[in-house]
């Protein structure tokens, strides 16, 4: 049916173009409406819009494929003004071209390429960018804004967290990097000191006479956003040709549909006929669990990992992580020796146990806290000896969210500072300080970080000045004496809670004392303000925390690594978030995110349960292809001997049932998957099969299928075993030919995934097929072999498709893993992950050509 519609569309589009010889586009469409279906009319209008964009902007051809996506944006142009201004500014700040600016250029180009062309008639894009805590996300979205503006996006709305401090900090950064170098190109609706305040005549910003870009930086505050919604609504008559980019910084905070903010953000998007919403966060757990079937902010079009910046201190760097399936634990990094343990007995002395105890609570300077503070002063003095890196020096004390507790720390910390200043001439204190410094310097050698060692005698000379300059700052929602890094170098011990736990940068943070009680991944990750860059003092950071918190961060580093591997599937496998849901490992003592944000999440298989896996990339060197052919022949020959051939199929399709799992494991050990095929990891698949066999007795038996063309109609045959020969099938190469591999994009159809079930099953949805498999073959896996013609000329000719031109026939592999049963003894292991629920989403598969379809 879809092929028939495609043919109708092509015929009607040719008729439409012929009408344009004498009619306007509107008149031509009016004629077509007399006999063409509404769906065809819509597709013609969309095609015409895209063709006109290409004609008007030939520098941005739509045929370019980047990271498996067809795109309109291929990178900066020589006449751009905003992106070059950013690179000039970063260069003046000392950013090296390679790798820093080049990496920023590549990552921002990728994100802009996933947006829609600003000249399209209408669009509504939803995307998510996942960075690292304190890793330069603001710089990245500033680069994205610059490139989008250079291409024609006009309105830019930045949702900058929920606190005034972060909103002001973001506004300042954007003024410095975007506005100042090109003031004539911008109109600002907000400024450093004022959040959004409605201006008179909003339409004046969007009329054709106003050629400037419009910038608005606002808090995620209901009152502010309501004003913004009304202001945009008042200008609605002028927004039809106003491409808008909405950047949601800290997109997991206050955005997900559990607050009044979410519907207001969606109202803003609804007022904009051309809108691209891009969330930025380092803790995307809540965003990844939004219901994809709802009209919400699930990132249905793209999710992108930002690359890990050079020299960045992240979760894994500091805490290490656990080995993933298929990894050798001895080869997994254990992190730096920078974590110091706070005994559980100290916690009750620095944090009230209950809410009732908060008022009047007087925290004590425990031995571990005293040691942490002394080390902070020593490390600050050492940095003064080096005279390099960030001029600010900050220590964070975070034990409670309550302001009364914060304020209680001020007297004892100031008293400790006074006693230390007075005791610097005391030999006993000097010996203690020297022992502390030597111990820490021995555990984390400076040379390991290419830093210059600092002798105690040298830094001791600077201690009086450090103690004199050190402020004790209570930074919370009620304090007036806040951290201010704009008025000169700062030395400060900052005691705080939520105002210091997200977004706001603690400049020069080197020491943290953290015993805050948390219950979710995102809260835990965002409170770790020690992540970031430590230029000039990479050997000096230290964190004091409980052993339990250290284990939680180590687990979180494991969660992050797995999450990012799943996200990379979108680029390497060409999938999107509506086809594949990122999986998040759970923890027995922590929630992934707040319970209300997880209401639509479902349990997910830890690896392969309930998935259909297929090879997309193939090596094209002769030796590899021949080895894979031999692996396939060995599997079929052994399966015929040990399994049960099923004679119910014909026309090039063969099936062998009840094949022992050891033959499948042997095949996976021999077959060479291309490294780009992240889903097709032979080691992980084998490990999964063996665990299911060992723990539940499942996957002991497999059905082996061959999908080829009918031998009677084929031009070339491939023999798997004596008496088993089928015609090769066509799977053409996507994109420009590569020297060492071919990308065919799609190998396996839903019909193939049901080849060992009832024939009618192939017409069902993916979910329905797995439902039937769970009922009929709950413990049996399916492996399908495809003999792909070595030439594989696309028939008929397809745009963007080319012949494989391999030296030998290619063996494709598809595997279908049944979902574990509810009473499976491995359910606890299988279901230790959650993901968004894609069961209500039906994705159309790529159509094969008529000749290819006959060979399915």
Residue-wise pLDDT for 511-550, tens only, equals 999 998 788 888 888 777 778 788 889 999 999 999 999 9
Average pLDDT over residues 363-378: 97
Q: Do 567 and 532 contact (CB within 8 A), yes or no?
A: no
Answer whether residue 853 shows pLDDT above 60. Answer: no
- CA 192/CA 176 separation, integer angstroms: 11
- The string over 528-539, giving b where at least 16 C-beta atoms fall within 10 Å of a residue's C-beta and e elsewhere, is bbbbbbbebbbb
pTM of the model: 0.75
> Strands 780-788 and 810-816: what pairing?
antiparallel
Query: CA dihedral defined by 624, 625, 629, 631, rounded to 10 degrees?
Result: 20
Answer whether residue 849 shows pLDDT above 50. Answer: no
Structure tokens at 795: 């028939």
Per-residue pLDDT, 59:
43
Per-residue pLDDT, 827:
42
Answer with the residue of higher pLDDT: 397 or 67: 397
- CA 592/CA 796 separation, integer angstroms: 49
pLDDT tens-digit readout, 73-112: 989 999 999 999 999 999 999 889 988 899 999 999 999 9
> Strands 833-835 and 584-585: what pairing?
antiparallel
Q: Do 503 and 401 contact (CB within 8 A), yes or no?
A: no
pLDDT tens-digit readout, 452-481: 999 999 999 999 999 999 999 987 766 667
- CA 786/CA 118 separation, integer angstroms: 42
269: phi then psi, degrees, rounded to nearest 5: -65, -35
**Residue written as tokens 């910046």?**
309
> Percentage of the chain surpassing pLDDT 90?
52
Answer whether residue 626 shows pLDDT above 90. Answer: yes
Answer whether residue 384 shows pLDDT above 90. Answer: yes
Residue (of 750, 741, 766) closest to 677 by Cα position: 741
Per-residue pLDDT, 52:
62
Per-residue pLDDT, 831:
43
- CA 4/CA 181 separation, integer angstroms: 54
Class of 78-115+122-309 per CATH? alpha beta
Q: Which of 162-166, 330-334, 517-521, 849-853 has the lowest mean pLDDT?
A: 849-853
Q: What is the mean pLDDT of the chain?
A: 86
Residue 530, classed as helix, strand or coil, is coil
Give the number of other Cβ atoms within 10 Å of residue 7's Cβ: 10
Average pLDDT over residues 169-198: 94
Per-residue pLDDT, 455:
97
Q: Which of 72-76, 183-187, 211-215, 799-803 has the lowest mean pLDDT?
A: 799-803
Q: Residue 431: which pLDDT band, with cuts at 50, 70 and 90?
A: very high
Within 8 A by CB and 6+ apart from 800, the residues are 63, 65, 70, 734, 735
Answer whether residue 800 shows pLDDT above 80. Answer: no
Listed by start position, the domains of the chain span 2-56, 78-115+122-309, 318-554, 612-854
Side-chain half-sphere of 714: how many Cα atoms within 13 Å?
24
Average pLDDT over residues 696-707: 95
Answer with the residue of higher pLDDT: 786 or 844: 786
- CA 219/CA 167 separation, integer angstroms: 6
Give the number of other Cβ atoms within 10 Å of residue 498's Cβ: 16
Answer with the residue of higher pLDDT: 194 or 648: 194
Q: Do 809 and 629 contact (CB within 8 A), yes or no?
A: yes
pLDDT tens-digit readout, 497-508: 665 555 467 889
pLDDT tens-digit readout, 241-262: 999 999 999 999 889 877 789 9
- CA 275 to chain centroid: 21
Residue 586, classed as helix, strand or coil, is coil
pLDDT tens-digit readout, 703-758: 999 999 998 888 899 999 998 999 999 998 876 666 678 888 788 888 899 999 97
Q: Do 91 and 101 contact (CB within 8 A), yes or no?
A: yes
- The string over 97-136, giving b where at least 16 C-beta atoms fall within 10 Å of a residue's C-beta and e elsewhere, is eeebbebbbebbbbbbbbbbbbbeeebebbbbbbbbbbbb
- The string over 505-516, giving b where at least 16 C-beta atoms fall within 10 Å of a residue's C-beta and e elsewhere, is bbbbbbbbbbbb
Per-residue pLDDT, 243:
97
- CA 757/CA 769 separation, integer angstroms: 9
Q: Residue 676: which pLDDT band, with cuts at 50, 70 and 90?
A: confident
């Amino acid at each position: 049916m879809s092929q028939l519609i495609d043919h109708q569309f092509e015929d009607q589009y040719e008729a439409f173009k012929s009408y344009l010889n004498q009619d306007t586009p509107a008149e031509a469409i009016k004629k077509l409406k007399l006999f063409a279906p509404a769906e065809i009319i819509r597709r013609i209008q969309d095609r015409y819009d895209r063709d006109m964009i290409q004609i008007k902007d030939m520098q941005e051809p739509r045929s370019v494929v980047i990271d498996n996506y067809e795109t309109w944006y291929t990178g900066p142009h020589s006449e751009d003004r905003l992106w070059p201004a950013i690179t000039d500014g970063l260069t003046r700040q000392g950013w090296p071209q390679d790798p820093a600016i080049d990496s920023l250029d590549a990552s921002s180009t990728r994100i802009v390429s996933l947006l829609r062309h600003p000249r399209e008639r209408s669009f509504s894009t939803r995307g998510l960018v996942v960075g690292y805590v304190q890793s330069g996300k603001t710089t990245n979205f500033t680069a994205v804004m610059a490139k989008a503006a250079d291409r024609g996006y006009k309105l830019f709305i930045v949702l900058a967290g929920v606190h005034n401090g972060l909103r002001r900090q973001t506004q300042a950064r954007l003024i410095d990097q975007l506005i100042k170098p090109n003031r004539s190109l911008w109109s600002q609706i907000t400024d450093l000191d004022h959040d959004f305040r409605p201006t008179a005549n909003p339409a004046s910003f969007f009329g054709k006479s106003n050629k400037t870009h419009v910038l608005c930086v606002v808090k995620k505050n209901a009152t502010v956003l309501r004003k913004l919604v009304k202001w945009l609504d008042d200008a609605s008559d002028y927004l039809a040709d106003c491409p808008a980019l909405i950047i949601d910084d800290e997109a997991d905070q206050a955005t997900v549909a559990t607050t009044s903010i979410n519907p207001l953000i969606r109202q803003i998007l609804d007022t904009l006929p051309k809108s691209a919403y891009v969330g930025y966060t380092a803790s995307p757990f809540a965003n990844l669990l939004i219901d994809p079937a709802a009209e919400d902010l699930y990132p249905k079009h793209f999710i992108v990992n930002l690359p890990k910046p050079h020299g960045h201190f992240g979760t894994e760097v500091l805490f290490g992580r656990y080995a993933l399936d298929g990894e050798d634990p001895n080869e997994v990094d254990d992190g730096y020796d920078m974590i110091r343990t706070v005994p559980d007995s100290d916690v009750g002395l620095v944090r009230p146990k209950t809410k009732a105890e908060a008022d009047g609570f007087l925290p004590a300077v425990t031995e571990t806290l005293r040691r942490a503070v002394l080390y902070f002063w020593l490390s600050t003095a050492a940095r003064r000896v080096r005279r390099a890196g960030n001029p600010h020096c900050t220590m964070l004390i975070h034990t409670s969210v309550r302001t009364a507790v914060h304020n209680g720390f001020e007297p004892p910390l100031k008293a400790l500072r006074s006693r230390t200043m007075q005791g610097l001439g005391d030999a006993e204190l000097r010996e203690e300080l020297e022992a502390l410094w030597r111990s820490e310097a021995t555990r984390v050698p400076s040379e390991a970080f290419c830093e210059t060692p600092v002798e105690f005698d040298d830094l001791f000379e600077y201690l009086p000045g450090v103690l004199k300059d050190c402020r004790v700052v209570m930074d919370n929602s009620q304090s007036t004496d806040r951290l201010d890094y704009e008025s000169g170098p700062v030395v400060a011990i900052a005691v705080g809670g939520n105002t210091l736990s997200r977004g706001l940068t603690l400049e020069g943070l080197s020491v943290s004392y953290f015993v805050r009680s948390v219950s979710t991944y995102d809260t835990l990750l965002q409170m770790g303000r020690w992540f970031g860059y430590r230029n000039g003092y990479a050997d000096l950071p230290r964190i004091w925390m409980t052993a339990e918190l250290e284990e939680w961060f180590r687990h979180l580093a494991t969660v992050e690594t797995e999450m990012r591997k799943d996200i990379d599937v979108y680029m390497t496998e060409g999938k999107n978030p509506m086809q594949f849901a990122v999986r998040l490992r759970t923890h027995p003592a922590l929630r992934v995110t707040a319970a209300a944000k997880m209401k639509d999440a479902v349990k997910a298989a830890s690896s392969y349960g309930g998935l259909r896996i297929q090879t997309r990339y193939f090596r094209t060197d002769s030796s590899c292809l021949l080895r894979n052919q031999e692996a396939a022949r060995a599997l079929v020959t052994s399966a015929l001997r040990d399994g049960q051939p099923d004679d119910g199929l014909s026309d090039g399709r063969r099936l062998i049932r009840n094949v022992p799992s050891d033959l499948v494991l042997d095949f996976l050990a021999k077959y060479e998957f291309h490294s780009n095929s992240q889903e097709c990891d032979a080691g992980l698949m084998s490990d999964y099969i063996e665990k299911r066999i060992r723990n539940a007795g499942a996957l002991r038996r497999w059905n082996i299928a061959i999908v080829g063309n009918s031998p009677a109609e084929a031009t070339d045959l491939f023999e798997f075993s004596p008496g088993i020969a089928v015609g090769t099938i066509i799977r053409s190469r996507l994109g420009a030919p590569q020297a060492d591999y071919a990308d065919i994009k799609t190998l396996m159809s839903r019909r193939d995934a049901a080849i060992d079930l009832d024939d009618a099953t192939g017409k069902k949805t993916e979910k329905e097929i797995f439902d039937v498999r769970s009922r009929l073959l709950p413990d049996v896996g399916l492996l399908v072999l495809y003999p792909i013609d070595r030439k594989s000329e696309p028939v008929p000719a397809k745009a963007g498709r080319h012949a494989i031109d391999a030296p030998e026939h290619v063996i494709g592999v598809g595997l279908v893993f049944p979902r574990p049963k509810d009473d499976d003894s491995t359910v606890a292991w299988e279901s230790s992950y959650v993901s968004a629920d894609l069961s209500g989403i039906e994705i159309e598969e790529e159509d094969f050509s008529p000749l290819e379809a006959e060979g399915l």
